[in-house]
Amino acid sequence: MESDTLCYLSLQDLSTQLRTGKVSSVEVTRCILDRIHRMNPRLHAYLTVLDESALYRAAQVDEEIRAGHWRGPLHGVPIAVKDLCQTKGVLTTCASRILRDWRPDSSATVVERLEAAGAVLVGKLNLTEFATFWYHPEMPVPLNPWDAALWPGASSSGSGVATSAALCFASIGTDTGGSIRFPSAACGIVGLKPTWGRVSRHSISRSANRWITSDR
């Protein structure tokens, strides 16, 4: 299957193909990483791309799937999280120069749960500085994948751009005052803000974590 065609599968279709062995997690993760490296220099959706650890993780989950240990619909699926979510040993900058070298000692609960579900983390996504009003002047601003002149959304703009541009199959963003809903509307995808307290906010700065996913 052609690389970009594979990247544009729906999450549900990809999950089915992973479970049946039609494609491997390594194959789809490599395709996503290749697409990120081609498109992110223009779109600025990712602040950190995790090539080595993502491919290592994908190889692990492929072995699990072949052994019949199916964890569920996210097993082997490449996802990304807003860089407001702590990730153990991985840069968590909150899009600020203040935290440019911070590597937390633990991960946010939502990240741990994604890992437990078998998801493959491919990177950390761009946002407004500390998910507040605007971007740090020394950090790149995400571009709307449909038209660079259009607004990419609010603080979860990197999550919206990455999901819309098929640079991941789903992403985590945060929404205190519209920061999931705005980029979802601006980038033409589906965003979900669940009931307050439904998803843990432990080790996530300021806001409540949420899903963003495309309807492709």
User: Catalytic residue at 179?
Assistant: yes
Helices 25-43 and 11-20: angle between axes, nearest 10 degrees: 150
User: Catalytic residue at 3?
Assistant: no
Among residues 82, 184, 203, 205, the one annotated as catalytic is 82
Task: Answer whether 78's CB lies under 8 Å from 122's CB.
Answer: yes
- Please report which helix (H) or strand (E) contains residue 155, including its range: none
Can you tell me which residue has the tokens 């974590």? 209
Among residues 25, 107, 155, 184, the one annotated as catalytic is 155
User: Catalytic residue at 164?
Assistant: no
Q: Please tell me the distance from the alpha carbon of residue 155 to that of residue 126, in angstroms, as a whole number.
A: 8
For residue 53, give the DSSP letter.
H
Among residues 24, 157, 164, 179, the one annotated as catalytic is 179
Q: Residue 104 corresponds to which tokens in the numbers above?
A: 């937390």
Q: Please tell me the distance from the alpha carbon of residue 148 to that of residue 22, in angstroms, as a whole number.
A: 36
Q: Please tell me the distance from the alpha carbon of residue 196 to that of residue 100, in angstroms, as a whole number.
A: 30
> How far does Cα 1 stand from its chain's mean position?
23
> What dihedral angle (degrees, nearest 10) is formed by the CA atoms of 151, 155, 156, 157?
20
Q: Please tell me the distance from the alpha carbon of residue 77 to that of residue 192, in angstroms, as a whole number.
A: 19
Q: Please tell me the distance from the alpha carbon of residue 172 to that of residue 124, in angstroms, as a whole number.
A: 10
Catalytic residues: 82, 155, 179
